[in-house]
Amino acid sequence: MVDFSGILPVIGSAFVDWLQLFVAPLKNLDMLWIIVPIWGVWLFSEFYQEKKGTSFGNAISNGATMLFVGVDWARHVISSLSAGNLIVGLKFITLVAVSAAVLIYGLAIIILGIKANKLVRIIGRVRETTYFMVMFSPIIYGVEEFSIRNATVILAFFPAFYILVEILDRLLPTPKIFEEDEGANFDKEFGIGSANSPPLSSDFGSDVFGRQQQPQQQWQQGAYPPYPNQFQQFKPQQQQKRKL
């Protein structure tokens, strides 16, 4: 029988460290101006837009948010270096690498979303982008130290966070506005044309202005007449000589 008595304290200690990263922004109120919007975007997007998965448009928006956060992280790191609060060393290189990784991640999501790559539906969900931005922000802003332990804790508890949010998605009722958007027919609701209208190049049907199109002429549907006969009526008539 496997003895878990020595493993449980390690897991419990790691879980406490994981929770400390969540509440770390409260130690530095200057972080709230970026953490609060991140949590707000996640809350509304998760339950009102991505309850049943993300779309390419939502994924692109999530990637754009990561770009914004990555730029702010890089700005903070450079400002700390200029102010003398940070020196060029392993910590500086690590923070720059983390900021660059977020920028690359966000840019990759945007590019894949524009190309309609199905992979973006997996790596571009708001719960994933929010998790990494929230967990690494305290490290970037110096509230928590970057260490192998913290990085391991962040990666190890990511599946737990993902599964917990998925369970909440399934337990909570689907918002009414989500169902309205999912089944909306904008053509019928706002009277913008009709999905069953024939194309403009057809013989019959209404054009974009509501007028009835005329059928094509018979001579356009059949073969063209021979060239000499077609213009025979336009031949100049010879003038008749008058008899004196």
What is this structure's pTM?
Answer: 0.65
Query: How many angstroms separate the Cα of 176 from the Cα of each of 58, 80, 183, 186?
Result: 19, 47, 11, 17
- For residue 110, the model assigns a pLDDT of 93
> Which residues, 6+ apart, have CB-to-CB distance to 49 below 8 Å?
55, 58, 126, 178
Q: Which of 96, 35, 38 has the alpha carbon at shortest distance from 71?
A: 96
- For residue 197, the model assigns a pLDDT of 47
Torsion angles phi and psi, residue 67, rounded to 5: -60, -45
Tokens standing for residue 19: 């929770």
Provide the residue ranges of all domains of the chain, joining segments of one domain with +: 31-175
Burial bucket for residue 8 (CB in 10 Å: 0-12, 13-18, 19+): exposed
- For residue 5, the model assigns a pLDDT of 62
- For residue 207, the model assigns a pLDDT of 47
pLDDT in tens, the chain (244 residues): 555 566 777 788 888 888 888 888 888 777 787 788 888 888 888 887 777 778 888 889 889 989 988 898 898 888 888 887 878 888 888 899 999 999 999 999 999 999 989 888 888 888 888 898 888 988 888 888 888 888 889 999 999 888 988 888 888 777 777 666 655 444 444 444 444 544 444 444 444 445 554 554 444 445 555 555 555 554 555 555 555 4
> Which residues, 6+ apart, have CB-to-CB distance to 40 below 8 Å?
none
- For residue 128, the model assigns a pLDDT of 87
- For residue 170, the model assigns a pLDDT of 83
- For residue 149, the model assigns a pLDDT of 87
- For residue 200, the model assigns a pLDDT of 46
DSSP letters for 116-177: T-TTHHHH--HHHHHHHHHHHHHHHTTSS---HHHHHHHHHTHHHHHHHHHHHHHHSPPPHH
- For residue 236, the model assigns a pLDDT of 55
- For residue 233, the model assigns a pLDDT of 54
